[in-house]
Structure 1
Amino acid sequence: MIIEILAAAGDAPQNQFGFIEAMEQGGVIAWSILTVLVIMSVGSFYILFTKLIEQQKILNQYKGVRTNFWRAPTIKEGAAKLDKNSAWRQLVDDANHAEDQHAKMPDKLEAHDWLHGSLSRSEDAINSKLAGGLPFLATVGATAPFVGLLGTVIGIYRALINIGLAGSASIDKVAGPVGEALIMTAIGLLVAVPAVLAYNWLQSRNKRISELLSSFSTDLLANINSKGAVKPATMTATSTQQAGKAARTAPATATKPMGTGTTTTTTTPPVGTTTTTPKR
């Protein structure tokens, strides 16, 4: 019985309409289009992962900027606490260089404009580097469906040629070209959709980083113009907990009117204390 089943399975017709068979029906054109789509997909994922690593590194470094950099007495001393190749160190170095040139300008307005312009150029350079590769994602997202559509059009054209030559629309004449056409459409969409999602996600993260860079640049400008007197407030987790604890344990005060033009202040004692009323 088992031998008969195996013999029957061996005599079953082979599937001639798989992926490889459909691509072989398309020939050089089909394989060329598939190669282009694979290159687009690999490039998109490469840019996605490299940019995510780069962005996350900048965001992680910003935490140290808010807590360590502004605690230094001067900007130059604070620069030593930053990574040498970080975007924040680049802004600080450019600010220090602009400050050195600042003394050579007698007009205060011109000096302020020079500092502001130097920091703006530094921001633009960092943002331009972060945006590198994103045009490729946009191009893939916009063109990949049409590249797949090109394979679809060619596959349908070949199917019509086979029908015309055979004189009938039998399944064996049109299955290969039509299967190739459908496969190309699906691959084009599979390449385009992740590229568009990656582009939008990276753009939103770049926008957040750009806002942080602009805020840090403004703080640097204010600190330089005020000769170190103006610094942003830095609040650590420990100080936040201490402030909350102090707010919970502080006595509450209330003011009650006693008459025309006079008020008295009543202080509520903390929980756990007793009050003694003096005898008259």
Structure 2
Amino acid sequence: MNPAASQFTLSRFWEQGDAISHAVAFVLLAMSLVSWFFILAKAYAAWRIRRGAPAVAAFWDAPSMQDGVNALSLADPEKIFLPLAQQGAAQLTASSRPSLGGEMDRAAQATRVLRGAIQTSTNRLESGLTLLASIGATAPFVGLLGTVWGIYHALANVSSHGTVQIDKVAGPVGEALVMTAIGLTVAIPAVLAYNGFNRVNRLTLAELDAFAHDLHAYLTK
């Protein structure tokens, strides 16, 4: 192997790195693993949600509210649309015992329970997105921190020898720049996934809103 090329290897960079460089590398590795875990989990959940979305239209073909809830429970494994149907069914059979909610008129009660169901579904849809956004925003800077520290460490080692030679500087500095590349490698999938999941969530939330509107009209007819 060419001796000059052997200076530009990850193993050599790891050997030359100190505790801070290693810590930055471990942080980036942890961020990458967490990011990919959520990307794969959310992608699988989004696929199941979109596959079950047509069941909302079939809900209204059921002979009764309970039959519709039972059918929707089988077609909505992620329980995104199901809470609205369950709350609607519960509203039809709600007892008339004295309570603050019972003092509302029928339309207000339906609005309150459906709003709560939408909030529950929204929380499920948005879980993990904040973490993906945070990783996408911070990973490049973590990699840049490793690069800056690596360059500083490399220049300090070169200056300690008293003479500056380009081959002594190029290798360590080039290896330090690898940290920036790793940071971008961690950040780019997280950002793309975050944008993609937001697009799916907007579509799902629009369908949830339409479903809640139809249920409200049914419950207050």
TM-score range, shorter chain: 0.7 to 0.9
Query: Where does the alignment leave 5 or more consecutive residues of structure 1 unmatched?
Result: 1-8, 227-280
- Give the CA deviation at 1:184: 0.5
- Give the CA deviation at 1:39: 1.4
Q: 1:20-63 deviations in whole A, cap 9, x for unaligned?
A: 10121113222221111111112112211211211221221121
Residue 168 of structure 1 aligns to a residue whose secondary structure is coil
- Please name the residue that 2:89 is paired with: 96
Residue 94 of structure 2 aligns to a residue whose secondary structure is helix
Looking at structure 2, the residues matched to 157 and 18 of structure 1 have their Cα atoms a distance apart, in angstroms, of 19
Percent of aligned pairs with the same amino acid: 38
More strand by share: 1
Q: Is the 8 A contact 1:26 1:180 kept in 2?
A: no
Q: Does 1:59 align with 2:50?
A: yes
Looking at structure 2, the residues matched to 210 and 38 of structure 1 have their Cα atoms a distance apart, in angstroms, of 33
Q: Does 1:74 align with 2:64?
A: yes
More helix by share: 2
Aligned positions of 1:116-155 closer than 5 A: 116-155=111-150
Larger radius of gyration: 1
Aligned positions of 1:122-271 closer than 5 A: 122-226=117-221
Query: Where does the alignment leave 5 or more consecutive residues of structure 2 unmatched?
Result: none
User: Are the structure 2 counterparts of residues 167 and 107 from structure 1 closer, same or farther at C-alpha, using a change threshold of 3 Å?
Assistant: closer
Q: Is the 8 A contact 1:23 1:31 kept in 2?
A: yes
CA RMSD of aligned residues (A): 2.3
Aligned positions of 1:28-39 closer than 5 A: 28-39=19-30
Q: 1:82-129 deviations in whole A, cap 9, x for unaligned?
A: 225532222111111223237568999622111111111111111111
Looking at structure 2, the residues matched to 13 and 163 of structure 1 have their Cα atoms a distance apart, in angstroms, of 18
Q: Is the 8 A contact 2:13 2:175 kept in 1?
A: yes
Looking at structure 1, the residues matched to 180 and 36 of structure 2 have their Cα atoms a distance apart, in angstroms, of 20
Looking at structure 2, the residues matched to 138 and 97 of structure 1 have their Cα atoms a distance apart, in angstroms, of 37
- Give the CA deviation at 1:178: 0.7
Q: Which runs of 4+ in 1 moved over 3 A?
A: 102-109
- Please name the residue that 2:16 is paired with: 25
Q: 1:208-245 deviations in whole A, cap 9, x for unaligned?
A: 1011111111111111212xxxxxxxxxxxxxxxxxxx
Q: Is the 8 A contact 2:81 2:121 kept in 1?
A: no
Q: Is the 8 A contact 1:102 1:114 kept in 2?
A: no
Return the letter of the residue paired with 1:62.
A
Superposition TM-score, scaled by structure 1 size: 0.70
Q: Does 1:115 align with 2:110?
A: yes
Q: Is the 8 A contact 2:56 2:211 kept in 1?
A: no
Greater RCO (CA < 8 Å, at least 6 residues apart): 2
User: Are the structure 2 counterparts of residues 175 and 27 from structure 1 closer, same or farther at C-alpha, using a change threshold of 3 Å?
Assistant: farther
Looking at structure 2, the residues matched to 13 and 58 of structure 1 have their Cα atoms a distance apart, in angstroms, of 55
